[in-house]
């Protein structure tokens, strides 16, 4: 598909999705309301392991709330051959070879692949060695597996994309009715406060901006867990020791990967300890109280040379007016800190309109995502490290 075909096909998809009315501001893609009679939530994890994907997969497979219907590998942190093999390794470590695993294409929709061995090592696991997987992927492309699972359980399946969106966009393009059958999407991806692969773009979106744009225009209820929160969730020596002290295969495997990446990032000279990106999206789906979410209209830059992959957000409550702590206070024109709240997440462009008062803004930029703007880091680690280290940790009320 070339750029022109992409524009045509994504426009058709957007028009198709307008007919749907399932999007509601009050229905985030979280795990409220189970989708199976056993109380579990049907999910598909789309992933590019990647040390953080690997730990996120082990975390998800250690979470009894999830009925993982499929794991689909995508090219991203490393080429598809490596991300697929690592996905298979994780289901073996977790003893979950019952979960079907499929691989996606070698390249994004219209661009060449971009990889991130500088953060993940050449094997995606920061050099932590595991045997070649014995279990095989299913004999169908990732996008086909996504379609077949969603069509088997219409309205029940939530997608957890923690890599680029190539597989999901491919499924939506092949089957435009699919969007109306997907319960929600809870993704790790994007940022409203600068990128990590370029100044503008977060890696997952940068790799395949055209695919991400299709996803954000799909009408599917989206929760976006981006760098705004994940950059605050970092792995420490204490976490690694707790994992290493666990006696289960998952704890030992997670400890080995965590130890390797802690050492790898130190050798790379990174100023931060390893960031846990994908784990936060999985945790958000499990624990609706973990993150603070705000409504945004999100679009993805697909044509800029230096801004490709940027997630551009418009918030109905973060307009210039809403930065004032007391909207009724007199406006002197100064930014008196007693009244003015400098946004730590970039607000929307100053406007002559009060947010919500202009039908132009409310119709043009109708929120299509709930974006994570704050995270309870300690609450996250109690769940994440607790479950990976083999403890029966319940979701805190
Ligand atoms: Ca990932």
pLDDT, tens only, 32-49 = 566 777 889 999 999 999
Position 365 confidence tier, pLDDT thresholds 50, 70, 90: confident
Mean pLDDT across the stretch 269-285? 96
Q: Is 238 a domain residue?
A: yes
Token representation of residue 259: 């130890």
- Is it the case that residue 346 has pLDDT exceeding 90? no
Tokens of 108: 């994004």
337: nearest Cα among 355, 322, 325: 325
Cα(186) to centroid of ligand 1, in Å? Answer: 13
How far apart are the CA of 387 and the centre of ligand 1, in A?
Answer: 20
Chain centre to alpha carbon of residue 395: 20
Number of structural domains the chain divides into: 2
72 and 145 assigned to the same domain: yes
CA-based nearest residue to 277, from 99, 121, 120:
120
Q: Which pLDDT band, with edges at 50, 70 and 90, does 2 fall under?
A: low
CA pair distance 339, 326, nearest whole angstrom: 6
Q: How many angstroms separate the alpha carbon of residue 275 from the centre of ligand 1?
A: 11
390 closest CA partner among 280, 247, 236: 247
Q: Distance of CA 232 to CAs 226, 252, 272, Å?
A: 11, 25, 10
Query: Does residue 175 sit in the same domain as residue 201?
Result: yes
Question: Using CA atoms, how far apart are residues 81 and 92, in angstroms rounded to an integer?
Answer: 17
Expressed in angstroms and rounded, the spacing between residue 47 Cα and the centre of ligand 1 is 6
* 196 and 84, same domain (yes or no): yes
Specify whether the CB–CB gap between 2 and 110 falls below 8 A. Answer: yes
What range defines the domain where residue 81 resides? Answer: 3-302+371-388
- Ligand 1 centroid to Cα of residue 163, in Å, is 4
Quote the ligand 1 centre to 303 CA distance (angstroms): 23
pLDDT at site 356: 52
Confidence label for 369 from pLDDT (cuts 50, 70 and 90)? very high
Ligand 1 center to 338 CA (angstroms): 41
**What value does the mean pLDDT take over residues 187-192?**
97
Assess if residue 310 is contained within a domain.
Answer: no
Distance 80 CA to ligand 1 centre (A): 12
CA 176 – ligand 1 centroid, Å:
25
Same domain, 132 and 64: yes
**Inter-residue contact 51 to 120 (CB < 8 Å):** yes
82 C-alpha vs ligand 1 centroid, how far in Å? 13
User: How far apart are the CA of 46 and the centre of ligand 1, in A?
Assistant: 9
Residue 216 has pLDDT above 90, yes or no: yes
Please give the residue that has the higher pLDDT: either 173 or 30.
173
Q: How far is the CA of 24 from the centre of ligand 1 (A)?
A: 27
Q: Map tokens 């960031």 to a residue.
A: 275
CA–centroid distance, 131 to ligand 1, in Å, is 21
The pTM (predicted TM-score) of the whole model is 0.87
Give 196's contacts (C-beta < 8 A, 6+ positions apart): 202, 203, 227, 231
CATH number at residue 145: 3.90.245.10
Same domain, 149 and 78: yes
Question: How many angstroms separate the alpha carbon of residue 34 from the centre of ligand 1?
Answer: 25
- Average of pLDDT values for 236-250? 97
- Note whether 348 and 262 are same-domain residues: no
Taking 80 as the threshold, does the pLDDT of residue 11 lie above it?
no
Mean pLDDT score, 125-130: 98
- Taking the C-alpha atoms of residue 224 and residue 231, their distance in angstroms, rounded to an integer, is 14
Distance 306 CA to ligand 1 centre (A): 22
Does 311 fall in a domain? no
Are residues 351 and 207 part of one domain?
no
**Ligand 1 geometric centre to CA of 343 (Å):** 28
Alpha carbon of 72 to ligand 1 centroid (Å) = 12
Over 70: is that where the pLDDT of 275 sits? yes
Distance, CA 51 to ligand 1 centroid (Å)? 8
Supply the pLDDT for residue 12. 44
- Residue 312 placed within a domain: no
Spell out the residues 6+ positions from residue 266 whose beta carbon is closer than 8 angstroms to its own. Answer: none
Whole-number mean pLDDT of the chain? 87
Distance 145 CA to ligand 1 centre (A): 19
pLDDT computed for residue 32 by the predictor: 53
């Amino acid at each position: 598909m070339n750029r022109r075909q992409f524009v045509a096909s994504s426009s058709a998809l957007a028009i198709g999705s307008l007919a749907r009315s399932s999007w509601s501001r009050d229905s985030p893609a979280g795990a409220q309301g189970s989708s199976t009679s056993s109380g579990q939530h049907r999910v598909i994890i789309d992933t590019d392991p990647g040390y953080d994907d690997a730990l996120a997969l082990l975390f998800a497979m250690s979470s009894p709330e999830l009925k993982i219907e499929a794991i689909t590998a995508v090219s991203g942190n490393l080429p598809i051959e490596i991300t697929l093999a690592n996905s298979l390794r994780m289901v073996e470590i977790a003893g979950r070879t019952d979960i079907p695993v499929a691989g996606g294409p070698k390249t994004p929709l219209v661009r060449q692949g971009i990889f991130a061995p500088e953060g993940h090592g050449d094997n995606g696991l920061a050099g932590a060695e595991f045997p070649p997987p014995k279990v095989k992927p299913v004999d169908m492309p990732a996008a086909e597996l996504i379609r077949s699972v969603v069509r088997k359980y219409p309205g029940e399946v939530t997608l957890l994309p923690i890599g680029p969106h190539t597989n999901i966009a491919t499924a939506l393009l092949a089957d435009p009715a699919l969007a109306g059958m997907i319960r929600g999407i809870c993704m790790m991806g994007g940022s409203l406060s600068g990128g990590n692969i370029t100044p503008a773009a977060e890696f997952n979106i940068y790799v395949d901006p055209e695919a991400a744009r299709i996803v954000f225009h799909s009408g599917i209820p989206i929760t976006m867990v981006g760098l705004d929160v994940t950059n605050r969730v970092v792995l420490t020596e204490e976490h690694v020791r707790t994992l290493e002290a666990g006696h289960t295969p998952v704890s030992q495997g997670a400890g080995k990967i965590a130890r390797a990446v802690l050492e790898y990032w130190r050798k790379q000279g990174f100023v931060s300890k390893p960031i846990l990106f994908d784990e936060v999206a999985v945790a958000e789906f499990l624990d609706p109280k973990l993150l603070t979410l705000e409504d945004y209209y999100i679009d993805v830059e697909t044509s800029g040379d230096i801004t490709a992959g940027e997630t551009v957000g418009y918030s109905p409550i973060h307009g210039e007016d809403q930065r004032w702590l007391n909207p009724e206070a007199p406006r002197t024109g100064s930014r008196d800190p007693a009244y003015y709240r400098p946004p730590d997440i970039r607000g929307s462009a100053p406007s002559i309109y009060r947010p919500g008062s202009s039908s132009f803004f409310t119709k043009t930029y109708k929120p299509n995502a709930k974006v994570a703007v704050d995270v309870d880091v300690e609450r996250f680690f109690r769940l994440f490290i607790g479950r990976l280290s083999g403890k029966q940790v319940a979701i805190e009320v």
